[in-house]
Amino acid sequence: MTAPSFDQGAQLSRVLIALMKGVVYRDTAPAIWHALDLLQTQVRDYVAVIGLTLELDEGEGYAFLRQEPAAEGSDLPRLMARRQLGYPVSLLLALLRRKLAEADATTGETRVILSRDDIASLVRVFMPDSTNEARILDRMDSHLKRVIELGFLRRLEGQEDRYEIMRILKSFVDAQWLQEFDQRLAAYRALAATAEVAAE
């Protein structure tokens, strides 16, 4: 009995389409991940033509496409859109990234899951004081939704108030950024205080 053939052209197309649509995770798309592993060189060569680079983390199990820094100053149009993030979403990403780092340093758990209340407690410290707790939580829900859309947080099925921090966040908020975390939080606090004064 012969082994099934590996149609390289078709598999390359599937991998490229999956990457163009977003992040590929080893645990949720094992067939695509396996093909990517076999065709990594071809994928890198293909996307380089259009000014992209393949970011692949074997240890964490994810891969995605990023605009090459060299392409930033060229006359090529941007294929990957830049996303301008506001203060609350940036703060939320920073706090989630710190939670990942804490878990890596202490428990060693690969999955970090937080409840909505856990996340609210993290964020509340850095938001302007308000007597309207419900309004703050409503706003936080909209920021959570944005972080989910960006792919850095995933709502657990059947558990609407529990979320998993996606480890791809480590690629966007790196260790060097974390070293400056305290200074950044001080700046966030100052910004929140300024916003509160302006609102009075």
Please indicate, yes or no, whether residues 93 and 190 belong to a single structural domain of this protein: yes
Q: Where a domain ends, among 72, 95, 112?
A: 72
Tell me: do 108 and 64 sit in the same domain.
Answer: no
Which tens digit of pLDDT belongs to each residue from 123-163? 877 766 655 666 767 778 888 998 988 888 999 988 878 99
Mean pLDDT of 27-48: 93
Type of residue found at 113 = I
**Do the bridges between strand 153-156 and strand 159-165 make them parallel or antiparallel, or are there none, so unpaired?**
antiparallel
| 54 within 8 A of 105, measured Cβ to Cβ | no
Is the distance from CB of 55 to CB of 174 less than 8 angstroms? no
- pLDDT of the residue at 2: 40
53 and 103 together in one domain: no
How many whole angstroms separate alpha carbon 188 and alpha carbon 182?
Answer: 10
Q: Which of 39, 72, 105 is the last residue of a domain?
A: 72
Q: Are residues 193 and 164 in the same domain?
A: yes
Instruction: Work out the average pLDDT over 59-73.
Output: 76
* Mean pLDDT across 73-88: 64
Question: Domain range holding 37?
Answer: 8-72
Does the pTM exceed 0.75? no
- Give the integer Cα–Cα distance in Å for 151 and 163: 12
